[in-house]
Amino acid sequence: MQDVNRLKIVLVEQKKTSKWLSEALGGVNPSTVSKWCTNSSQPDIETLAKISKLLGVGVEDLFDKKLMESV
């Protein structure tokens, strides 16, 4: 399965952790954030909007660009 999101990459680039994101999102279960980071599940669109705001990036920056071009 192809990676859909770049969440883990963006977190690393910004020197932030999945635990930080879990807490910043108001206590989302850390195992849920871990699943997002490994692409075994995906956050819903509202959560993606919150994540992009917290990280200061556009929602589109959280997705693999090659995948987006093929849609």
* Total number of domains in the chain: 1
The whole-angstrom separation of Cα 23 and Cα 30 is 8
Q: What is the pLDDT of residues 20-71, one digit of tens each?
A: 999 999 999 999 999 999 999 999 999 999 999 999 999 999 987 766 556 5
Looking at residue 48, which CATH number applies to its domain? 1.10.260.40
Look at residue 22 and tell me if it is in a domain: yes
- Domain of 24? 7-69
The whole-angstrom separation of Cα 48 and Cα 7 is 10
Look at residue 2 and tell me if it is in a domain: no
Look at residue 58 and tell me if it is in a domain: yes
**pLDDT grade for 4, boundaries at 50, 70 and 90:** confident
Look at residue 1 and tell me if it is in a domain: no
Look at residue 13 and tell me if it is in a domain: yes
